Every structure is written in structure tokens, then in C-alpha cells.
Amino acid sequence: MSTNLDRFAQQARAERGRFFDRDRAITVTHAPGWVDLFGGIVADAGMLSLLWPTGDGVMVALQPDPEPIIRFRVGQRTDSIPCTALFLPAGPREYADAAGEIDLHQPPRSPWWGPALMAWVALMREEFARFGGGARVMLQWTDPPGLAVSVIAAIAQALAKAYGIHVAPRELAIACAEGLARLERRSAGAELIGTLTTVCAPANELVMVNPYTAQIGGSAHLPPSSAIWVIRASDEPRQPLARVRMALDHIERLLVQYDHEPALTKLRLSDFIRHARDRLPADPTGERQHTMPLAALAAFALAEQQRSRLALALLRAAASRAQRDDDLRLVGELLTQSHWEQAALGLTDPHADALVEQLASLPSIFGARQPLAATHATLVVFGRSDAEADVQRVATAYQASAGLAVKVLAHKVQN
């Protein structure tokens, strides 16, 4: 990644006297993509998630500009927005007002636009930052999973460096998550696990994220000879996240009714099975907002938390060569187990199901699972580092049979 970032920095410097002012400093930052191996879909319930910051991502070159206009250069196109759309002399706009202005000025085919601009608003509203003018920004990316998170994280880090805003990485990640959640008008669970991973995770390490405390709770390198790939089919995976969130809220209300406190994140899976499972409806209630089997969803959420912890422990233990293959295959089994439990709840994409079936027969693949839809990824695949040709072959064959574009977006091999 450093080679790509160095090349991008050279491109930015070459724009002095053209897009950038010749005499003012330029700040260059990078934010990786991210994908969840376990837990992401139930992050709103506070469940632990195990995440991977992919090596690709978003690169930003930012130069403060006294003119009150924010200009973006993406490829050969330049777009702009007046600073007054985001903030006024008296201070930042309310989130809803800023989101409306961002939508009003959005150019066509620009999914990066809202997350990029919300970085200004989030830093002003959450960290009391102030900006005396506009900026000139170059953006470049390698189609990472979780693009929106990577964009806002890269811009926010560039703004903090360029303007000398003293903010800890964790606080910056929380501000970014709040900005994205307000932009997309939903709760910040998925955004928070993504921003914490993108901003705070050590390079090339799997990280455990606790969305309840907004903390990284441990990390591990991928063992030698293993790798992770991300596959995307052109049809974006669709998970009924609003329905999942409402169902998780309903579970919490029912548990409060019996135990007098929000209890799901505090329960062990064994205690839930023994004491609490029978208190939740085993079948959908029939109400429009509660069409999921609550007992099964709660068990899945707790199992995801347990799988996250088990997988992290196994990956750490796999440093011992004697049992490495067995440990990695067990992590893959947990990954595939998670996928099919999601499928039983109606939370997977048909393309993901078909790809998991095809990958399961390959000895070089340990396991695969559909990650959180917010990453815009269809599948995360875990296997031997020499499995890339197998992953590419399955993707190519599926593209031909399904009649849609299938890409292997990212892979990381640990030597």
C-alpha cells in the first residue's frame, strides 16, 4: 500500500500550480477498506465483531483554501460546494440541514460525496472543530469494501492533520460513525465497527471491536500461509437491516421485562439457552415490524459474539506450526457456520449462498461468509494463501453462469 500512497502523493505534488495552490501545504492520508468476519450484522445489539482492515482503500490529498468553497478532484472531474452548505459564521449546521444541502449539491455518480462532506460536519459538531475557509481535495480509491467509511475516515484524518485538530483516533472514529449514521438516517452500530477498524486498527491485523464500549478489544495477525479475499457480485447484497434492528430492540425490551435491564450483550450463550430462550417467541409474531423469529435471532447474535472470540483465540494459537492447519480450518468452519445461520434467518443474498456452496468443495478454502451489507461485499473468503487462483476461478465461473459481474476486490497474503 505504501507504494500506491507514495505514487498518489507524487500525483498530488504534481498538481501544485494547477488544482492545488503552489505555496500552501498538502496533507496526504489513507484509510483502508474493511470487512467483518463475524458479528457485523448484530453490532447494533452491542455484540463483539471480528473485523479485517483490507490493504486497499481511499487516499486523500487535502489543502486548506481561504476561499469558502470545498473543491474535489476525482479522476479528471472537479466538483464543488460552498462552505455555507455545511457551516455558517455562527457554527455548523444541524446534521439534518447539512445532509439536505449535501443532497442538493450532489453531482451524478458520486457515492463518495456525502461521506466526504459529512467529515466536516462531524468534526465540527462532535469535536468542536472550526474551519476558516474551504479546501481543495483529491480523492482516489481502489474500490474497497466499506467505501463510505473509508472516505469519511480518510477525509477526517486529513482535516485533523491539516488544521491541527487534537483528537484521539478513537474519538475521531466515533465522530465519523455519528456523521455517517446521521447522513444515512440510521443507528451507528455498523458504521462504528467500520470506523474503529479503519481508523484505529493496526495495519494488516484482524481486530476485535466492541461496539458497546467503542473499543478495540484485541488483535491478531493472520498466520503465515493464510489469506482473506473479498468477492463482490454486481447485485449489491441486501440484508433487511432495519428489520434486524427493530427485532433486536424488541428482544431487549422483552429481556428487560423479565430481568429489569438490557441483558442480551451480558448473557453467555449457554445461559441464554438455559434461562432466556424460552421467554422469546420462537416464531415471527406476525406484526410487520417483527417478522423474524426472535429466539433464533438472539441465539445467532450471542453465537456470533462467541464465534468472534473463538476465532481470535484460534488465530493467535495458530502461530504454533504443529496445529496451524487444524486451527485455521476450525476458523473456516466457524465462518461457514455463521453464514448458514444467517441464511436460516433470511439474512443472506442468493449470490452469496451459491458462492459459498461452490467454494466449500475446495480443499484450499477454509470457509466463507456473507459480511455486513454496509461493506457492499457479497462474500468474505478465508483460505490458504495459494488459493487465489481457486477463488478467481470460482468468481469467473459464477459470473458466466449468473450473467453478472463478479470481482475479487481485495486479498491479503501474509508471508
pLDDT tens track for 95-137 = 999 999 999 999 998 999 999 999 999 999 999 999 989 999 9
pLDDT band at 290 (very low <50, low <70, confident <90, very high): low
In this structure, are 209 and 238 located in the same domain? no
Nearest-angstrom CA–CA distance, 381 and 384: 10
Asked if 121 and 92 count as a contact pair (C-beta separation under 8 A), the reply is yes
- Of 352 and 241, the one with more pLDDT: 352
Find, among 77, 158, 167, the residue nearest to 113 by Cα. Answer: 77
Tens of pLDDT, residue by residue over 21-44, are 999 999 999 999 999 999 999 998
CB neighbour list of residue 273: distance below 8 Å, 6 or more residues apart: 299
Instruction: Among 189, 220, 251, give the residue marking a domain's end.
Output: 220
Instruction: Among 162, 190, 220, give the residue marking a domain's end.
Output: 220
Among residues of the chain, what percentage have pLDDT more than 70? Answer: 93
CB neighbour list of residue 278: distance below 8 Å, 6 or more residues apart: 295
**Res 414: pLDDT:** 41
In this structure, are 214 and 284 located in the same domain? no
Tell me the three cell numbers of residue 302: 450471542
pLDDT band at 412 (very low <50, low <70, confident <90, very high): low
Distance from first CA to last CA of the chain, Å, rounded?
16
In this structure, are 131 and 175 located in the same domain? yes
In this structure, are 145 and 259 located in the same domain? no
Q: Is the pLDDT of residue 87 over 70?
A: yes
Asked if 70 and 39 count as a contact pair (C-beta separation under 8 A), the reply is no
| CATH code of the domain in which 372 resides | 3.30.70.890
In this structure, are 190 and 250 located in the same domain? no
Tens of pLDDT, residue by residue over 41-72, are 999 888 999 999 987 799 999 999 999 999 99
Find, among 265, 139, 146, the residue nearest to 199 by Cα. Answer: 146
Strand partners, 215: 210
In this structure, are 230 and 216 located in the same domain? no
Tens of pLDDT, residue by residue over 170-198, are 999 999 999 999 997 776 777 899 999 99
**Res 415: pLDDT:** 41
Please state, in angstroms and as integers, the Cα–Cα distance from residue 2 to each residue in 5, 169, 197, 303, following that order.
Answer: 5, 20, 19, 37
Q: Is the pLDDT of residue 321 over 70?
A: no
In this structure, are 210 and 270 located in the same domain? no
Tally the domains of the chain.
2
In this structure, are 50 and 80 located in the same domain? yes
In this structure, are 44 and 80 located in the same domain? yes
In this structure, are 252 and 388 located in the same domain? yes
**Res 413: pLDDT:** 44
Nearest-angstrom CA–CA distance, 310 and 334: 9
For the entire predicted model, the pTM comes to 0.91
In this structure, are 281 and 339 located in the same domain? yes
Backbone angles phi, psi at 403, to 5 degrees: 70, 35
Tell me the three cell numbers of residue 216: 478495540
Nearest-angstrom CA–CA distance, 36 and 379: 10
In this structure, are 88 and 159 located in the same domain? yes
pLDDT band at 79 (very low <50, low <70, confident <90, very high): very high
Q: Angle 270-40-202 (CA atoms, 0-180°, nearest 5)?
A: 110
Q: Give the least confident one: 160-169, 246-255, 307-316.
A: 246-255
Q: Angle 182-119-92 (CA atoms, 0-180°, nearest 5)?
A: 75
What average pLDDT does the segment 300-312 reach? 95
Asked if 71 and 65 count as a contact pair (C-beta separation under 8 A), the reply is yes
User: What domain range is 155 assigned to?
Assistant: 2-220
| CATH code of the domain in which 130 resides | 3.30.230.10
- Of 148 and 3, the one with more pLDDT: 148
